[in-house]
Amino acid sequence: MRTTLTLKVLGVDFDTAQGVMRVSGRNVKENAFVKLGQHHTLELELQRQFTIEKDRWDAVDLERIAEACDPSKSADVAAVVMQVCA
């Protein structure tokens, strides 16, 4: 079953081994499956849509989001080639 949850985030955890960010908090919009105020933890993964809302965004937040969304800022492979000259 799929449903949409709206959480007030109370905690964030990043699992480097799995590459997954977990956010935990309380549900702030009741729906047919989840009551208002229930605690949940969600996994935010690549290729999985989510929305973030925040009352005030500062310059640091906006810069981090822009960098995270820029595909040229990340690479799947990196290489360093060095040669010793005698």
List pLDDT tens digits, range 17-70: 887 889 999 999 988 899 999 999 999 877 888 888 888 888 988 888 888 787
> What's the maximum distance between 2 C-alpha atoms anywhere in the chain?
73
Q: Residue 75 — pLDDT band, cuts 50, 70, 90?
A: low
Q: For the chain, give every domain's residue range.
A: 7-73
Amino acid sitting at position 79: A
CA–CA separation, 10 and 23 (whole Å): 8
For residue 7, the cross-strand partners are 27
For residue 18, count CB atoms less than 10 angstroms from its CB and return exposed for 0-12, middle for 13-18, buried for 19 or more: exposed
Which phi and psi (to 5°) does residue 74 adopt? Answer: -130, 155
3-class secondary-structure state, position 20: strand
Q: Residue 85 — pLDDT band, cuts 50, 70, 90?
A: low
pTM of the predicted structure, to 2 decimals: 0.62
